[in-house]
Amino acid sequence: MNILSKKQVATIFLMALIPFTIYTFIRPELRGFDSYAFLTQACGQFEVIGTPLIANAILTTIPCNIIAIKGVLFLLFFATLLGIGSLGELFHKEKGWLAALFSFLSPILLFEATKFENDQFATPILIWATYFFYKARITKQKKYDLICLSLLIIASQIWQGTIYFLLAFAISSFIIAIPGILATILYFQKLISSTLPSNLVTETQPIAGLAMLWGLSFGFSLLPLMMYPQAAIFLLLMVLQIKFAWFIAPLLSVGILLFYTNQKLANYKIKTHNIGQVVQGSLLTIAIAGVVVWGFALSGHPPHSYTWEAVEYAIDQSPNGKVFNDWDLGYFIIHKDGTPSQYGGGRQYAFSKGIVITKKEQPTENCQLLKQFNKLLVYDCHQ
């Protein structure tokens, strides 16, 4: 059994720590809109309906403290990178751990790991399920398929999106195919509705996920043949909705690893210049830079400081804390102990009489602008 060395584990730990340290210190808050839905649940202010059993237990016991939550997210990300490094070692014993580093050729995994949602608690489990799935293919030992299936069952009680991994693996494993068929029959309608693209919210938009691949695109060049069925399914899902983009990242990281270690590439020359070594050095350099760069890139993600200023101001202007708002601001208002008119869902409803916070210019004729905070405007509206 391949085991990462202590030095490799320490290096991967540092790779996870650097961007999370940047994330923690350059922005004191969490990133993303839905992160605050789950934060308010952790703080006892709100309950996210439909959260799976294990995820609900985690979210009701985790500390209501952003630093502590970021610490937990860091450990989950570290476990994810360890899984990718171990997956790489299945295909290259000496340098396989570099697959974890090459995953930073794209920001997909880091951006996913820094959100506080139930998905993140399932991610490392799904990565390790992927490891055991391919270990079963390589060793021809069915016990690893059983371990994979057990991990998928656990992950399904944390995040319902686990079904996509179940279906992808079912193509190549009879053991996993049986529960995969049952899951498809039981959840067919919901599976279809959850997979179809939509422009209501960013994470369900089509095509855009392809733009998140960046340097990982090179991974298609030497992707192991046994990964083709799963890569095809994950690629299709990524085209349908951007939220599925991270599924394919571990596989492409292995593809990059095999591209990097390919002897023909290492020896490739044009005249007297060893182009192969230049390409290899460039891949390493860009990946190492990504460890830092993607950490700083998180500072540009919502919510911004002006968002909190606008939300707090709007709540202060309302005599009862009730605020009429754009749907995506709802969880922020709950977090600040206000009462929003709407939250989540991606649908915009008409504003009513009262304090309004929105990105719209003059939502109705009877609205007086109180104050503008960058892209957000706070109005006092009268019917």
User: Which tens digit of pLDDT belongs to each residue from 179-223?
Assistant: 999 999 999 999 999 999 988 788 899 998 898 899 999 999 899
Token pair in block for residue 87: 């997956």
Residue in the structure block whose two tokens are 């990105």? 359
Q: Is the pLDDT of residue 150 over 80?
A: yes
Is 1 within a domain? no
pLDDT band at 383 (very low <50, low <70, confident <90, very high): low
- Using one digit for the tens of pLDDT, what is the confidence trace for 334-378? 999 999 999 987 667 777 789 999 998 877 778 899 999 999 999
In terms of domains, do 290 and 361 share one? no
Q: Which residues are registered as beta bridge partners of 376?
A: 373
Which domain does 46 fall in, by range? Answer: 6-300
**Domain-ending residue, one of 281, 300, 319:** 300
CA distance 102 to 76: 18
Q: Looking at the whole model, is its pTM more than 0.75?
A: yes
Structural domains of the chain, count = 2
**Are 377 and 229 within one domain?**
no
Domain end, chosen from 300, 322, 339, is at: 300
Residues 29 and 122 in one domain: yes
Are both 214 and 354 inside the same structural domain? no
Residue 84: inside a domain, yes or no?
yes
Is 205 domain-assigned? yes
> Cα(64)–Cα(55) distance, rounded to whole angstroms?
15
Region 160-165: what's the mean pLDDT? 96
Rounded Cα gap, residues 253 and 251, in angstroms: 5
- 312 within a domain of the structure (yes/no): yes
Looking at the domain assignment, is residue 348 inside a domain? yes
Instruction: Please tell me whether residues 314 and 255 are part of one structural domain.
Output: no
For 149, half-sphere exposure in the C-beta direction (CA atoms, 13 angstrom radius) is 17
Smallest Cα–Cα separation from 216: which of 136, 316, 106, 335? 106
Residues 260 and 368 in one domain: no
Q: Which strand (E) or helix (H) includes residue 18? A: helix 6-26
Average the pLDDT over 229-247 and give the result. Answer: 96
270 and 343 housed in the same domain: no
What share of the chain in percent tops pLDDT 70? 97
Question: Does 255 share its domain with 362?
Answer: no
Residue at a domain's end among 252, 282, 300: 300
Max Cα separation, the chain? 78
CA distance to 69, 215, 240, per residue, from 203 (Å): 22, 21, 10
Dump pLDDT digits (tens) for 69-126: 999 999 999 999 999 999 999 999 999 999 999 999 999 999 999 999 999 999 999 9
Shared domain check, 147 and 79: yes
Q: Could you tell me if residue 104 is inside a domain? A: yes
Tell me, yes or no, whether 293 and 156 share the same domain.
yes
Same domain, 246 and 374: no
Q: What's the whole-number mean pLDDT along residues 306-321?
A: 96
- For residues 265 and 318, state if they share a domain: no
Q: Is the pLDDT of residue 1 over 60?
A: no
CA 150, 153, 159, 160 dihedral sign is: positive
Nearest to 231 by CA among 168, 174, 172: 168
Residue 271: predicted pLDDT: 66
Does 202 fall in a domain?
yes
pLDDT for the residue 47: 87
Inside any domain, residue 176: yes
Going by pLDDT thresholds of 50, 70 and 90, the confidence category of residue 266 is low
